[in-house]
């Protein structure tokens, strides 16, 4: 049962990824990416990571991809022109991809003690996950959160200087949202 589900959703995942590349319309590509994200969530669930699966759907499929579609809709991006690609890209690109994949595969195959994750009935509960996250992995966890905080501050700083209004907020209503979009 697990194996069947795995192959079905892995198939969805790969099909979505290929469709993402083949579609010429940005919004179809974005929708294919949503299919990829949600099928990945099911694969996580099959590996027993229920919290990760839910977070994948909420964060990636629900929030980030909504932002993507939002931007596509806002810019009303039309159909892309289809080119056959440059000759250099074809000559250098394919060997480069093969080389990178080979390097990654060698590293993974050589690595020891990565642990095993099998398709199973068992579920890693959220409590277990948070215990590991806040004891063994505390430092990476907190460093990541600081990194995200810095990224947010950077985004705010860039956005507040980018409106071409050096004298600060001149909006008659005092609403920064009105100037931010200009």
Partner 1 sequence: MTIFEFFLWSLLKVAVVTVVMLLGVAYTVLLERKLVGRIQNRWGPSRVGPFGLLQTLVDGAKLFLKEDLIPTAVYRPLYLLAPIIALGCALISIGVVPFGEPNVGPAGMHLFEISDVNIGLLVILGITSIGVYGIALAGWSSNNKYSLLGALRSSAQLISYELALGLSLVGVVLRAGSLNLRVIVEQQATQGILTWNIFGGMQFVAFFIYLMAAYAETNRSPFDLPEAESELTGGYHTEYSSMKFAMFFMAEYANMITVGCVATLLFLGGWTSFFGDLIPPPQNIFIHAFLPLFWFVLKVFCFLFLFIWVRGTLPRFRYDQLMNFGWRYLMPLAILNIVGTSLWLAYR
Footprint of partner 1 on this chain (CB under 8 A)? 27, 31, 34, 38, 50-51, 54-55, 57-58, 61-63, 66-67, 69-70, 72-74, 76, 123, 125-127, 173, 175, 177-178
Rounded least distance, CB 61 to partner 1, Å: 6
Q: Largest Cα–Cα distance of the chain, in whole Å? A: 64
Residue 127 Cβ vs partner 1, minimum distance, rounded to whole Å: 8
Nearer CB in complex with partner 1: 109/121: 121
What is the DSSP-derived secondary structure letter of residue 116? -
**What is d(CA 166, CA 11) in angstroms, rounded to the nearest whole number?**
52
Nearest residue (CB) to partner 1, 17 versus 62? 62
Give the single-character DSSP code of 81.
P
- CB 77 → partner 1: shortest distance, Å? 11
Kindly state the smallest distance separating residue 28's Cβ from partner 1, in Å: 8
Residues contacting residue 119 through CB under 8 Å, at least 6 positions apart: 2, 3, 6, 46, 47
Distance CA(46)–CA(90), nearest Å, equals: 37
| Closer Cβ to partner 1, 112 or 127, answer by number | 127
């Amino acid at each position: 049962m697990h194996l069947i589900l795995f192959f079905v959703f892995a198939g969805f995942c790969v099909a979505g990824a290929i469709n993402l590349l083949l579609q010429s319309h940005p919004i179809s590509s974005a929708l294919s990416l949503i299919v990829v994200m949600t099928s990945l969530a099911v694969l996580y669930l099959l590996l027993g990571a229920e919290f990760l699966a839910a977070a994948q759907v909420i964060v990636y499929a629900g929030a980030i991809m909504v932002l993507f579609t939002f931007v596509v809709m806002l810019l009303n991006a039309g159909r892309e022109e289809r080119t056959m690609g440059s000759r250099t890209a074809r000559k250098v690109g394919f060997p480069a991809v093969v080389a990178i994949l080979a390097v990654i595969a060698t590293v993974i195959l050589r690595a020891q003690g990565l642990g095993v994750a099998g398709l199973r009935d068992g579920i890693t509960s959220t409590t277990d996950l948070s215990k590991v996250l806040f004891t063994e992995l505390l430092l990476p966890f907190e460093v990541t959160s600081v990194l995200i905080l810095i990224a947010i501050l950077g985004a705010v700083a860039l956005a507040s200087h980018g409106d071409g209004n050096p004298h600060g907020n001149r909006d008659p209503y005092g609403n920064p949202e009105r100037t931010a979009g200009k």
